[in-house]
Structure 1
Amino acid sequence: MARTTPPRPVDIASVFPELAPLARQTVRLHPRPGEPTAHESSVGGPLLWPADEEWPVCAKEHHHYGVLPVSLDDVRRSRALLEAAWLRPRAPHENLLDPGQEAYLDELQTGHPPHPAPNALLPVAQLYLRDIPGLAGPGGTDLLQVLWCPLDHDEGLPAAHLVWRDSRSVDSVDKLLADPPEPADVDHYGSYVPEPCVLHPEVVTEYPAPHELPEELAERLYEWGRRQWAEQDPDDESGPGGAYYQYEHSVAPGWKVGGWGPWSFCDPWPMHCEVCEAAYRPLLTVSSGEWDGGSGSWIPLEDQEGPSAPVGLRKPEDPPMVGIGRGYNMQIYICPTSFDHPHLENMQ
């Protein structure tokens, strides 16, 4: 099923013409539960990986912040237990888990001493260029693969690894790696273990967050937003108010390719390639959820009626079950000069 973002409440570029040159196309990925194959674009799905190519590992320093890592199997078993518990019928006031299940869950979440490096990387996303309008890689490539070490590194983020490849060189089944190595350690809460999702790419237009606009324009948008919201719902004091532009008209929420940075709790800062000093450009946004209380107008039309069946552990707004910080975004930036130059990761 395709996903369709509702039209924005106002054509913001007609109200503020100075925004028109700043419009960018982004591709909302709309990950949804599924069983993708290595020949499909996905989040958390299997990668098209040559059997004779070494699987990447992480030898960097890991930060555990006072909690022990767990195993990938521990995360999967915990999720399976909780998923079944949320889906089963329960009597009023009946506990989610019985004492035996609670004890088993506690055991799974106990953790273990960190293993010595290296730690095998975990697949995060696979994007065939044919599926993602505007995405381009090095000459001769048609596939982007994103992996990461599922532990905290600098800035409290997992360490990402990008691979561009020509899928035609590994299209034979007997050439594929069937059982890739798995990380010995993942973060204690399983926040960096994406559940398998198929994608429903959709191109939308977005504009910079107020943080990236000239101060005078940002102030006018703030005052305009206050007036707009007051007219729409004068009794709603909990609405976006002056943040109306930011929530409704600027940066699309959720997993996406390209577009603008989802600046929110911190101000933008200069980001330049350490090799050539070129300004980085956004590649991929990894989100903690596709919508929340402040971004409801971005919910795709196909998802607005809500689920018709009981919802388990995987919420409709967050099928990949990835958590960045306290519900933030991780954005991966790349150098526009060379794909060989280091990329940059940032929490926003």
Structure 2
Amino acid sequence: MTRTTPPRPLDVEKLYPGLAVHRGTTTRLHPRPGTPRVSESSVAGPLLWPVDEPWPMCTEPHGRGRGRRPADIRRARRILDDAWARDPSSGPTDEERELLTELRREHHVAGIADTDPLPMLGVAQLYRRDIPDLRPGPDDRDLLQVFWCPFDRHGRTGYGMSVRLLWRRSWEVTEVLDTPPQPEVVGFEGYVAEPCVLHPEQVVTYPFAGTLPEELCARIDGAEDALEEAAEAEYEATGEEPADEPAYQYDLSIPPGWRAGGFASWHVTDPARMDCASCATPMELLLTVASSEWDGGSGSWIPVEERDLPRNLRSPTPTEVTVSRWGQLNIFACPADPGHPHRWSLQ
């Protein structure tokens, strides 16, 4: 089923003259629960992985022997989905609640050391033929595969993600691995993605305001400050909450959700330079992995096909992925050489 982004509530280029030269495109992936095939782009679907190639493993030292079973996590989600679809007012039955308590229990894996190879989770695979804004891979490779460790204990702080990306030539894979290795337990259920088919849609996008030329950024900030002051004055005069005005950051520039290409959002931190560690070239956004497909405000990015569905039949979190407390993982690639190591940031 096609997913169509509604027209923006305002003509942003008319509202802010000079913005048009910064226009770009991004491809919203619109992942939705389904049964993807190995030959298709997907989130958490079967990967085109050669039977004779070692599966990605995490060998960084951290605890990996206590957590929840992936199958239990997915079963608990099915129970909740069925309960809310059946009766949005009451949710799970008492019997289902007891089962959910059991499924949420942590388990211990005996005899596993902190450095034993731990299978990484296949998060997504993207064929360039399906995704208009997916950047080229190195040496004509056409398939991007994304993995991460199911534990959140990496890096200097001991609380960071471990993300791995691999590019391959899809036509070179002749025999596919049917049953990839899986971790017995995971440290965080938000890293266990639900299988989703994709509905790619290319849309217009504009840079994060803080990365625009100073004069243009100041005009955007000034206009929105003026709207906020007017709303406060209206509230003081009438006592009624004014309607939310479309905001550049949340309604007019960068769409939420999983997407390829376009501009990174820096809504949690100030914009940071993302230069290639190999050649110092400024990097460009490759992929955004998001916790939510739309925010809880105006919902102006909800696809046309889903706007009128009952709330219990449409979900802003179809992949069930949770990326940090803020909700976005931005992965960057080097435009000078796609084979150079990727970088990423959490927003």
Q: Where on the TM-score scale, by shorter chain, does this alignment land: which range?
A: 0.7 to 0.9
Segment drifting more, 137-146 vs 150-159: 150-159
| Letter paired with 2:33 | P
d(CA) in 2 for partners of 1:51 and 1:295? 47
Matched-pair contact (CA < 8 Å) for 1:120–1:183: yes
SS of the equivalent of 2:19 reads helix
d(CA) in 2 for partners of 1:238 and 1:53? 59
Shift of 1:226: 5.0
Matched-pair contact (CA < 8 Å) for 1:120–1:184: no
* 1:275-328 deviation digits (Å, cap 9, x = unpaired): 2111121111011111122351111111111149x53xxx52111011112241
d(CA) in 2 for partners of 1:257 and 1:295? 23
SS of the equivalent of 1:298 reads coil
| Letter paired with 1:85 | A
| Letter paired with 1:29 | L
| Letter paired with 1:297 | S
Segments of 5+ residues of structure 2 without an aligned counterpart are none
* Residues 191-230 of structure 1: pairs in structure 2 closer than 5 A: 191-226=190-225
Find out whether 1:72 has 2:67 as its counterpart: no
Picking from 106, 113, 120, the partner of 2:101 is 106
d(CA) in 2 for partners of 1:34 and 1:333? 28
Matched-pair contact (CA < 8 Å) for 2:133–2:262: no
Match of 1:336 in 2: 335
SS of the equivalent of 2:218 reads helix
| Letter paired with 1:182 | Q
Find out whether 1:35 has 2:31 as its counterpart: no
SS of the equivalent of 1:80 reads helix
Measured at CA, do residues 158 and 4 of structure 1 come closer, stay the same or move farther in structure 2, by a change above 3 Å?
Answer: same
SS of the equivalent of 1:130 reads coil
Matched-pair contact (CA < 8 Å) for 1:26–1:205: yes
Picking from 294, 300, 305, the partner of 2:303 is 300
Segment drifting more, 276-285 vs 205-214: 205-214
Matched-pair contact (CA < 8 Å) for 1:290–1:318: yes
Matched-pair contact (CA < 8 Å) for 2:257–2:294: yes
Find out whether 1:262 has 2:260 as its counterpart: no
* 1:35-59 deviation digits (Å, cap 9, x = unpaired): 0010011111110111111111011
Superposition RMSD in Å:
2.8
d(CA) in 1 for partners of 2:166 and 2:148? 11
Matched-pair contact (CA < 8 Å) for 1:226–1:244: no
Shift of 1:337: 2.4
Measured at CA, do residues 102 and 4 of structure 1 come closer, stay the same or move farther in structure 2, by a change above 3 Å?
Answer: closer
| Letter paired with 1:331 | N
Matched-pair contact (CA < 8 Å) for 1:222–1:244: no
How many corresponding residue pairs? 333
| Letter paired with 2:321 | V
d(CA) in 2 for partners of 1:32 and 1:199? 6
| Letter paired with 1:78 | A
Matched-pair contact (CA < 8 Å) for 2:138–2:339: no
Matched-pair contact (CA < 8 Å) for 1:119–1:184: no
Shift of 1:159: 1.6
d(CA) in 1 for partners of 2:96 and 2:6? 42
Find out whether 1:96 has 2:99 as its counterpart: no
| Letter paired with 2:162 | A
Picking from 243, 252, 264, the partner of 2:255 is 252
Among all aligned residue pairs of Structure 1 and Structure 2, give the percentage whose two residues are the same amino acid.
45
* Residues 133-144 of structure 1: pairs in structure 2 closer than 5 A: 133-135=132-134, 136-144=136-144
Tell me the TM-score normalised to structure 2 length.
0.86
d(CA) in 2 for partners of 1:157 and 1:203? 31
* 1:59-94 deviation digits (Å, cap 9, x = unpaired): 124479xx952221221232233233333448x7x6
| Letter paired with 2:218 | E
Shift of 1:95: 6.8
SS of the equivalent of 2:47 reads coil
| Letter paired with 1:128 | Y
Measured at CA, do residues 88 and 237 of structure 1 come closer, stay the same or move farther in structure 2, by a change above 3 Å?
Answer: closer
Find out whether 1:82 has 2:80 as its counterpart: yes
Tell me the TM-score normalised to structure 1 length.
0.86
Find out whether 1:147 has 2:147 as its counterpart: yes
d(CA) in 2 for partners of 1:301 and 1:226? 30
d(CA) in 2 for partners of 1:202 and 1:157? 31
Measured at CA, do residues 15 and 177 of structure 1 come closer, stay the same or move farther in structure 2, by a change above 3 Å?
Answer: same
Match of 1:169 in 2: 172
Match of 2:57 in 1: 57
Measured at CA, do residues 125 and 39 of structure 1 come closer, stay the same or move farther in structure 2, by a change above 3 Å?
Answer: same
SS of the equivalent of 2:92 reads coil
Matched-pair contact (CA < 8 Å) for 2:333–2:341: yes
| Letter paired with 2:2 | A
Segment drifting more, 200-209 vs 145-154: 145-154
